[in-house]
Amino acid sequence: MPEWPEVATVIESILPDVRERQILRADASPHLGIDAEQLRGWSIYTIRQRGKHILVHLLRTKWLRHCIEKYSPYTDEAAEYLARRKQRRVLAIHLMMSGVLTTAAPERLADHVHLRLRLGPSLRYREGSNMLLVAPHRVAFVKDTDPRTQPQWLYFVDPRRFGKVRICCYPSELRSVLRNTGPDISTLNKHAMGDVRFLRRLRTVLKQDTAVYSALMDQRAISGFGNIYAQEACFAAGLLPTRTLRDCADVWLQRLLFFESVRLLHRAKNRQGASVSSYRTPDGVRGGAQDLLFVYGRGGQPCSVCNTPIEKMRIKGRTVCWCPTCQK
Ligand SMILES: [Zn+2]
């Protein structure tokens, strides 16, 4: 299942191709249970991440066009301001096991496309003039072949059909989609008070006899971790995955969450995620983060740091590996 680095990779790679474009047409498979017509006429101004959720933020096209013409290069802030005051829609996507969000034609998986968005050319492009608005009253000339002058497709492909798609027209609907999703792991060290806030959250939302590994996996406290990176974060912080929150002093949790985890997830993202099973980047290539793994899936093999054989056990139905020497 894609975890934080994989989802971040997906967003980073599709965002330049889809932002500031109007949704001209939307077709969805009936099993998704959404009314895709609600997307038509809206424009994408940004895509955000909350744990493993992909949140495509939409604004009425006339308002986004207004932001671009008046407030560029502050379009994002202006759009966000307008979205808060007027109305925004959010297309919330969870990739689950096998979902893929891509702008490339999914030839091999064409039968498994469950949502298809036809996007117009960039709203910055003046049709018929080869001009692109780069700032208010400033244009750049572009070639006919520039992708921003062309319409674009965005596909949600999901062979195993576990993925979830919701269109949130009101803030309450978005809150309900995210009700069991805590703050995104990447927001951890952004604020000076973040440490205290997150630690308190971890200790109040979860029971004190929760194992550290399970606490990371529980999306209610902090979202973004899955099976792979929860094990790797425990290794990086030198903590046994079975150690309970009660036996874990604040300094250890701080090291685990604010230092090792954030570093680990960003390193994995820089390598475009880990392709241990079906995950591929939106360009269809394998990620490189699987080479960074120290313990995940290495039960019985020698630890790359100290050569002790890696041990494994099952926690809540999942195989968890750790090094008995490096982790205490
Ligand atoms: Zn070791």
**What CATH number is associated with residue 284?**
1.10.8.50
Same-domain status, 190 and 151:
no
For residues 289 and 156, give the distance between their C-alpha atoms in angstroms, rounded to a whole number.
24
Ligand 1 midpoint to CA 226 (Å): 22
Ligand 1 midpoint to CA 302 (Å): 8
Same-domain status, 41 and 160:
yes
pLDDT at 189: 65
Whether the Cβ atoms of residue 25 and residue 12 lie closer than 8 Å to each other: no
Same-domain status, 136 and 222:
no
Evaluate whether residue 277 is within a structural domain: yes
* Helix ranges, 19-142 (H): 61-71, 75-85
Look at residues 177, 212, 234 and tell me which one is the last residue of a structural domain: 177
Ligand 1 midpoint to CA 6 (Å): 26
* Helix ranges, the chain (H): 4-18, 61-71, 75-85, 171-177, 194-205, 212-217, 227-237, 250-254, 262-270
Look at residues 124, 143, 177 and tell me which one is the last residue of a structural domain: 177
For residues 156 and 113, give the distance between their C-alpha atoms in angstroms, rounded to a whole number.
6
Q: Is a pLDDT exceeding 80 seen at residue 211?
A: yes
Ligand 1 midpoint to CA 309 (Å): 8
Evaluate whether residue 328 is within a structural domain: no
Same-domain status, 221 and 305:
yes
pLDDT-derived band of residue 60, with 50, 70 and 90 as boundaries?
very high
Helix or strand holding residue 49 (H, E): strand 42-50
Ligand 1 midpoint to CA 123 (Å): 53
Same-domain status, 255 and 275:
yes
Q: Which residues surround ligand 1, an ion (CB under 5 A)?
A: 303, 305-306, 308, 323, 325-326
Tens of pLDDT, residues 281-301: 877 788 888 888 999 999 999
What CATH number has the domain bearing residue 68? Answer: 3.20.190.10
Q: Which residues pair with 315 in a beta bridge?
A: 318
Evaluate whether residue 61 is within a structural domain: yes
Look at residues 160, 177, 194 and tell me which one is the last residue of a structural domain: 177
Tens of pLDDT, residues 157-192: 999 999 999 999 999 999 999 999 998 988 876 554
Same-domain status, 40 and 123:
yes
pLDDT-derived band of residue 86, with 50, 70 and 90 as boundaries?
confident
Evaluate whether residue 260 is within a structural domain: yes
Same-domain status, 315 and 219:
yes
Ligand 1 midpoint to CA 109 (Å): 41
Same-domain status, 48 and 116:
yes
Evaluate whether residue 199 is within a structural domain: yes
Evaluate whether residue 102 is within a structural domain: yes
For residues 5 and 309, give the distance between their C-alpha atoms in angstroms, rounded to a whole number.
28
Question: What average pLDDT does range 39-50 have in this prediction?
Answer: 95
What is the domain extent for residue 268?
185-322
Q: Is a pLDDT exceeding 70 seen at residue 70?
A: yes
Same-domain status, 69 and 201:
no
Ligand 1 midpoint to CA 312 (Å): 13
Ligand 1 midpoint to CA 326 (Å): 4
Ligand 1 midpoint to CA 235 (Å): 9
Ligand 1 midpoint to CA 135 (Å): 54
Same-domain status, 263 and 314:
yes
For residues 49 and 45, give the distance between their C-alpha atoms in angstroms, rounded to a whole number.
14
Owner of token pair 């002058």: 149
Ligand 1 midpoint to CA 255 (Å): 18
Computed over every residue of the chain, the mean pLDDT equals 90
Ligand 1 midpoint to CA 130 (Å): 59
Evaluate whether residue 327 is within a structural domain: no
Half-sphere exposure of 254 (CA within 13 A, CB side): 8
For residues 122 and 88, give the distance between their C-alpha atoms in angstroms, rounded to a whole number.
19
Number of folded domains in the chain? 2
pLDDT at 168: 95
Same-domain status, 143 and 200:
no
Same-domain status, 29 and 74:
yes
DSSP 147: G
Ligand 1 midpoint to CA 219 (Å): 28
Ligand 1 midpoint to CA 239 (Å): 11
For residues 191 and 291, give the distance between their C-alpha atoms in angstroms, rounded to a whole number.
31
Q: Is a pLDDT exceeding 60 seen at residue 84?
A: yes
Evaluate whether residue 43 is within a structural domain: yes
Sheet order of strands, 138-141 included? 125-126, 131-135, 138-141
